[in-house]
Amino acid sequence: MTISEGTGPVDVAALVESLTFPPSRERTLGVEWELGLVDPTTLDLVPRAKELLALTEEADTLGHARRARRGTVTKELLTNTVELTTGVCANAAEAAADLADGLDHVRRAADTLGVDLYGGGSHPLARWADQEVTDGQRYATLIDRTQWWGRQMVIFGVHVHVGVRSAAKVWPLVNALLTYHPHLTALCASSPYWSGEDTGYASNRTMLFQQLPTAGLPFQFETWAQYRAYLADMFTTGVITDPSELRWDIRPSMRLGTIEVRACDGLSRVEDVAAVAALIHCLVRHLEDRLDDGTLPPPLPPWHVQENKWRAARYGLEAIVITDAASNEALVTDDLHDLLDRLAPAARRLGCERELAGIEDMLRAGAGYQRMRDAVAADGTGDLRAAARAMLVSR
């Protein structure tokens, strides 16, 4: 089977066969943290990413002789956004150190430009039509294909990568992680407002992002053969040209040898990002242990997974979620507390007990959507700048 591209015919079967999942040697961790750039007075988003990145690159060049930096700062779809990434980490403590170092680096550049850093899942006031798309063929292709919906993607998230030591474990783990998709969505929900209106959702970002044709929940494949057959169909019909264009909430990274969890709204504190990274890292370790000893529960049916995603996006930490294939239900916060107890042994083995304990701190402080709504209510005037101020990245 061949398809024709601008560079000539492509053998789809050979292309698919060449795509392999390189297992990680260790259960490593990596984090990507998207941040918005805002004017400190108006609190609206500003297109200053190119200038900020230039300043960070200049600082790196001048300081190269003193210290090599593990993480990176990169561009994103819109010019109002930058992304901090960690190096390859052993645990959440190392990831927190990388993020703190990267944040300090970015903040110095932001202070020079006179901009603040924003950590919510979407901006409460910004109009999508005013935002600029970053130069680059990848972004241009995305916008050309997705049009109005693609231009709506004024959203920010946190992505967590966990190394998997065997390709055979990837799909059982991806499917098992879907049971906990609503827990992560509810915990990190921080996008209740959109274009100046309260959407009634805790995470409007969750609902918005799935409008892209290759985003949303993954299919529940059981084998690599099923996934490769799917890729062959996608390549043949021109839906994608690379697996990275499948922007699923949970997906395998064929390049990094990781499972990448992308279900989380933006966060505004390094400590919160580290806590969520620890939760996901421990969860993958716990599920892998259960897979190894033959006690991994059956995955939720797709219809339960889809319903849970909607409930968490709508109700946040007040969501009642379906916890198993037998249709049992629980308040998501109750199930999170039970989950933390179950993950304690994994946290000890991974060396991230302190970071995992940060989940309790997040629950006590309230999710981002709750803090944003509380800030607007306390302001008393309905000014949504109070919501934006509540999600500025803490110093």
The CATH class of the 9-390 domain is alpha beta
User: Bridge partners of 37?
Assistant: 117
pLDDT digits (tens, 9 = 90+) for 286-340: 999 999 999 999 999 999 999 999 999 999 999 999 999 999 999 999 999 999 9
CA distance 387 to 371: 8
Residue 148 is predicted with a pLDDT of: 85
Q: State residue 65's pLDDT score.
A: 40
Direct distance between the N- and C-terminal alpha carbons of the chain, in angstroms, rounded to an integer: 55
Residue 395: per-residue pLDDT: 78
CB 99 within 8 A of CB 84: yes
With cut-offs at 50, 70 and 90, classify the pLDDT of residue 63. low
Q: How far apart, in whole angstroms, are the C-alpha atoms of residue 133 and residue 126? A: 14
pLDDT score recorded for residue 109? 96
| Residue found under tokens 């110095």 | 108
- Of all residues in the chain, the percent with pLDDT exceeding 70 is 95
pLDDT digits 0-9 by tens, 190-205: 999 999 999 999 999 9
Positive or negative torsion for Cα 369, 374, 377, 380: negative
| Domain range annotation of the chain | 9-390
pLDDT tier at 9, thresholds 50, 70, 90: low
Contact 319, 312 (CB under 8 A): yes
Measure the CA–CA gap between 321 and 318, rounded to whole angstroms.
9
pLDDT over 70 (residue 10): no
**3-class secondary-structure state, position 161:** strand
Question: What does pTM read for this prediction?
Answer: 0.94
**Residue 8 — left, alpha, or beta (φ > 0 → left; ψ -120 to 50 → alpha)?**
left
Q: How far apart are CA 108 and CA 375, in angstroms?
A: 27
Nearest Cα neighbor of 157 from 132, 186, 122 is 122
Contact 49, 77 (CB under 8 A): no
- Provide the CB-side half-sphere exposure for 348 (13 A, CA): 4
Is residue 86 scored above 80 in pLDDT?
yes
d(CA 218, CA 215): 8
DSSP structural state of residue 155: B
The overall average pLDDT reported for the chain is 93
Closest CA to 161 of 291, 26, 53, 49: 26
Amino acid 143: pLDDT: 86
